[in-house]
């Protein structure tokens, strides 16, 4: 029962990227530096997030990463699933069929009750993650964090942000 460390970094990255001006991007190296994590590892998570549509990656000297849609429409579940993969945490290996008294496979049409119960509980977890939107997390952060930390974040963004792709601005006309 362990979430990979990358999930924490991924969420923090998304939260930071939400502060970018529309269309601008931030390179992976800057994200890694800001969070004090290995850049080569972070890139893997960023790519998965991009593949899932949570982020958009822009190649080239002006490139980097930015959010794929508004922070209001990104849930923590989107991020967790992108990084960890869609498979449920509980994987039923059908050990009920490995018994010495196992029947023919047809006798196990109905799903294993243990699997059903475990997956049902997991749905509750996913539902709760789905309800947590990135925008809300950021709002809470801005309300509670030390003003100096906030200011540093803004300055950092100003310093490292890249123009991104000009065409992208018109394609993502939903700020915040």
Contact set with its own copies (CB under 8 A): 1-5, 7-9, 11-12, 15, 33-37, 76, 80, 84-85, 87, 89-93, 95-96, 98-103, 107-108, 110, 113-114, 116-118, 120-125, 127-129, 132, 136-137, 140-141, 144-146, 148-149, 152-153, 155-156
Binding of DNA by 37 (CB under 7 A): yes
Which of 125, 48, 121, 119 is CA-nearest to residue 88? Answer: 119
Cβ atoms of 11 and 160 closer than 8 Å: no
**Least spacing, CB of residue 51 vs DNA, in Å:** 8
Binding of DNA by 163 (CB under 7 A): yes
Greatest pairwise CA separation for the chain in angstroms: 67
Cβ atoms of 60 and 49 closer than 8 Å: no
The length of the chain in residues reads 176
Q: From CA 43, how far away is CA 135, in angstroms rounded?
A: 23
- Positions touching DNA (CB under 7 A) are 2, 4-6, 27-29, 37-38, 40-41, 43-44, 46-47, 50, 57-65, 162-163, 165-166
């Amino acid at each position: 029962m362990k979430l990979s460390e990358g999930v924490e970094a991924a969420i923090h990255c998304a939260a930071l990227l939400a502060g970018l001006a529309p269309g601008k991007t931030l390179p992976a190296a800057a994200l890694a530096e800001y969070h004090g994590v290995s850049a080569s590892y972070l890139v893997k998570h960023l790519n998965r997030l991009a593949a899932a549509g949570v982020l958009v990656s822009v190649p080239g000297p002006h490139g980097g990463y930015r959010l794929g849609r508004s922070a209001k429409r990104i849930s923590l579940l989107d991020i967790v699933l992108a990084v960890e993969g869609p498979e449920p945490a509980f994987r039923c290996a059908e050990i009920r069929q490995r018994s010495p008294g196992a029947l023919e496979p047809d006798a196990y049409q109905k799903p294993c009750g243990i699997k059903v119960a475990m997956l049902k509980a997991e749905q509750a977890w996913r539902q709760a993650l789905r309800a947590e939107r990135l925008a809300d997390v950021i709002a809470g952060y801005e309300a509670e964090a030390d003003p100096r930390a906030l200011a540093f974040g803004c300055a950092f963004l100003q310093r490292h942000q890249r123009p991104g792709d000009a065409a992208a601005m018109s394609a993502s006309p939903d700020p915040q």
